Amino acid sequence: MNALSVDRRVLQSLIAAGGFAVAPHAFELPLWIIGVFVASASWRYGIEVFQWYRPGRLVRFGLMLLTLAAVFRQYHTLLGRDPGMALLITLIGLKFLELKTTRDLVVSLFVFYLIILGSFLYGQSLWLGAWALLATTASTAALVHLTQPTGLDRSQRLRLSGVMLAKAAPLMLVVYLLFPRISGTLWGLPADAHSGLTGMPDTMQPGSIRSLSESSEVAFRVDFDGAPPRQSELYWRGLVFTGFDGRGWQRVQAPKAEVTPFVPQGEARRYHVTLEPSNKPWMPALDLPAIRPQGARYGADFTLEHREPIRERLNYTLTSYTRYNTGALEPAEREHALQLPPDAGPRARALAARWQRENGNPQQIAQAALDYFRRENFVYTLSPPLLGDNPVDEFLFGTRRGFCEHYAAAFVALMRAAGIPSRVVVGYLGGELNTAGDYLIVRQSDAHAWAEIWLAGRGWVRVDPTGAIAPERIELGLDAVRRLEQQGLALGSLSSDAVLRVLELGWFEVMARQARWYWDYTNLAWYRWVVDYGKERQERLLTSLGLEDISWGRLTGLLTTGVLLVMLIYALLLWRPKKSTDPAQVAYLRFCRKLARAGLTRAPHEGSHAFAARAARQRADLAMSISEITGLYEDLRYGRATSDRKKSVSLKKRVANFRV
């Protein structure tokens, strides 16, 4: 290449490597960012192939300023994960317009490696790991092409880059296993490194839970020791909302519980949770958790809260009881659980007062509320209408169409108006059994809200008013509700058998679901064995090798020893005499062996040209064949025909037909 142009094939390799590096960011960054990269690369290719306009220094400087301004307008800052990656991708795209020297090309390739690494700031899934390996191979192949532009064809470059990465794998494995780990997340990550994470909101307004139901993202996965409970028992407790301002619900900070604040009854359920990052501290648990995992706070409202926001996958093991007695109610807790703003729901207050006069018993009042929902044509819907400033009365006596949070909030307001301590609980309901790995997948769309009332002699008792309107939601899950709505079927209008027939999947849907389950199981294994390899797993590995309580100093020494050992093995393999794999060299050595049998042995110091001249003098009858074979060999080995397949085949045939 000269100072102004780049070899077309080298440029093609560079553009392909950049495309592989940038592709994953198309799912995370605005498409115009990727568009700038593609447009710049295409522009440079047009310059080399079609003689398009070549921008001068002033134009390139203007484009850079325009790009900086566009990124700043998009993010209102140039610092952070997203603006940082956007700048890296757009500016390396503009770099295509000023490529002049080999150094420019090498710098671009190393920036591609950095962009590949940056994709892991958005996730560490299996497909992303596989794509990163593919992109790294492409960048390495481009680097090989840059250093040997005419020596290897495309398949040979890819093969060589793959071999280089494979040879680096043992060293990578030693460093991965033995490099000292720290507890917690990486330090120095930008403030937006955890943006975009989905999780349970810390307040509840009409529509808060419904917005989560639109997300199919995984919230957590659960492995039970033994068979899981029935679908209707899978209430995953997240947050408890006791405060009510007439429209929204908030948490009232519960005191910390040093011991399990309830009396367990029935069978204990032990299970293992793999919680996805949410940037929230809430740790879902099967109602009710009996133990507190390490690093968690157990509240007197039976919720678990991590000591810091959960920004990476978290594993914890719990034991829960689905039957329990929570005992007496503290005076302050009772006061909070009866609080109702004076102007909130006057018609609801009147209705609750009537039930209180007619029944008196808290259980009968609760049953009256559930009967009211069934009798007055209430509808459970995924698309409820908006409510105004008095949502309780508007829902109970107006729209009568709502999602789970509408029913839970209205029910609790009615109970408080009747003098029954009550509160809203939000979390998740149900889960999808992945038969490929025999574990439950709980998604954000499984988010749910229910109520708890306090009864003397029993403590807090769960009441789910959604079940009075849409038992399909409790027994079959939200996906079943969504599919029934799509078919125009009213909830509760069909028998259980009829619902199951309607929801029966076709063979293609079954196959697609099975494939999705296997992919999820593979991703989970990738996480457990690769992504989740932290300080605790490293300590367990070293303990299994007989290295208990190893210090950082000893671990560093072990790492150094491992690296030196791998490097020593590399050196021994490198210095070992190798059998030539060059077809031209193999054919020429065979030619030399044939001449040696005739008494013409090539001296170790003798070059091919000198040997051919000496052999031709001694065997004039073979001079022409010796000259032709040697000429083909030298052209293939040292000349411009290093990858000429026809000449290689010709050399092989001439050597095979050579007779002495």
Q: What is the mean pLDDT of residues 570-580?
A: 73
pLDDT band, very low/low/confident/very high, at 65 (cuts 50, 70, 90): very high
pLDDT attached to residue 526? 86
| Same domain membership, residue 354 and residue 325 | yes
Q: What is the mean pLDDT of residues 169-177?
A: 86
Is residue 404 included in any domain, yes or no?
yes
| Same domain membership, residue 634 and residue 560 | no
| Same domain membership, residue 215 and residue 122 | no
pLDDT attached to residue 154? 76
| Same domain membership, residue 400 and residue 275 | yes
pLDDT attached to residue 540? 77
Find the catalytic residue in 404, 406, 446, 520. Answer: 404
Range of the domain at 49: 8-147
Q: What is the mean pLDDT of residues 305-324?
A: 90
Is residue 181 included in any domain, yes or no?
no
Answer yes or no: is pLDDT of 251 > 80: yes
Q: How far is 454 from 92, CA to CA, in rounded Å?
A: 63
pLDDT attached to residue 441? 94
pLDDT attached to residue 2? 44
Answer yes or no: is pLDDT of 188 > 50: no
Spell out where 172-217 has E strands. Answer: 203-204
Q: Three-class SS of residue 518?
A: helix
Annotation says 404 is catalytic: yes
pLDDT band, very low/low/confident/very high, at 531 (cuts 50, 70, 90): confident
pLDDT attached to residue 220? 95
Is residue 607 included in any domain, yes or no?
yes
Is residue 109 included in any domain, yes or no?
yes
Of 575, 597, 628, which one is at a domain's C-terminal end?
A: 575
Domain count, the chain: 4
pLDDT attached to residue 579? 62
| Same domain membership, residue 285 and residue 136 | no
By mean pLDDT, which of 292-301, 314-323, 470-479, 524-533 is the weakest? 470-479
Annotation says 448 is catalytic: yes
For residue 67, give Cα distances in angstroms to 93, 118, 536. 11, 20, 44
Report pLDDT digits (tens) over 327-357. Answer: 888 888 899 999 999 888 899 999 999 999 8
Answer yes or no: is pLDDT of 64 > 80: yes
Of 298, 289, 277, nearest to 317 (Cα)?
A: 289
Q: Three-class SS of residue 443?
A: strand
Answer yes or no: is pLDDT of 639 > 80: no
Is residue 68 included in any domain, yes or no?
yes
Report pLDDT digits (tens) over 438-477. Answer: 999 999 989 999 999 999 989 999 999 988 888 777 666 6
Report pLDDT digits (tens) over 254-296. Answer: 666 555 678 888 889 999 999 998 889 999 999 899 988 888 8
Q: Kindly state the DSSP code that residue 225 receives in the 8-state scheme.
A: S
Report pLDDT digits (tens) over 205-234. Answer: 887 787 777 788 899 999 999 888 988 899
Answer yes or no: is pLDDT of 582 > 80: no
Q: What is the mean pLDDT of residues 524-543?
A: 80
Answer yes or no: is pLDDT of 490 > 60: no
| Same domain membership, residue 269 and residue 234 | yes
By mean pLDDT, which of 11-15, 494-498, 563-567 is the weakest? 494-498
Report pLDDT digits (tens) over 42-61. Answer: 999 998 888 889 898 899 99
| Same domain membership, residue 380 and residue 462 | yes
Find the catalytic residue in 301, 446, 464, 520. Answer: 464
pLDDT band, very low/low/confident/very high, at 3 (cuts 50, 70, 90): very low
Q: How far is 139 from 119, CA to CA, in rounded Å?
A: 15
pLDDT attached to residue 134? 94
What percent of the chain is modeled with pLDDT above 70? Answer: 88
| Same domain membership, residue 407 and residue 258 | yes
Q: How far is 428 from 286, CA to CA, in rounded Å?
A: 9
Annotation says 592 is catalytic: no
Residues 6+ apart with CB under 8 A from 435: 514, 517
Element (H, E) at 613: helix 608-618
Answer yes or no: is pLDDT of 187 > 80: no
Answer yes or no: is pLDDT of 485 > 70: no
| Same domain membership, residue 618 and residue 546 | no
Q: What is the mean pLDDT of residues 488-508?
A: 62
Q: How many CA atoms lie within 13 A of 504 on its CB side?
A: 7
Is residue 158 included in any domain, yes or no?
no
| Same domain membership, residue 587 and residue 571 | no
What percent of the chain is modeled with pLDDT above 90? Answer: 37
pLDDT attached to residue 63? 92
By mean pLDDT, which of 41-45, 240-244, 373-377, 637-641 is the weakest? 637-641
Find the catalytic residue in 25, 145, 194, 448. Answer: 448
pLDDT band, very low/low/confident/very high, at 386 (cuts 50, 70, 90): confident
Element (H, E) at 628: helix 623-638
Q: What is the mean pLDDT of residues 4-24?
A: 86
| Same domain membership, residue 476 and residue 410 | yes
Phi, psi angle pair for 563, to nearest 5°: -65, -45
Is residue 509 included in any domain, yes or no?
no
In degrees to the nearest 10, what's the CA dihedral of 516, 519, 523, 529? Answer: 140
pLDDT attached to residue 556? 85
Of 479, 503, 527, which one is at a domain's C-terminal end?
A: 503
Is residue 389 included in any domain, yes or no?
yes
| Same domain membership, residue 300 and residue 251 | yes
By mean pLDDT, which of 156-160, 193-197, 287-291, 391-395 is the weakest? 193-197
Q: What is the mean pLDDT of residues 92-120?
A: 91
Q: Is the dihedral of CA 642, 644, 648, 650 positive or negative?
A: negative
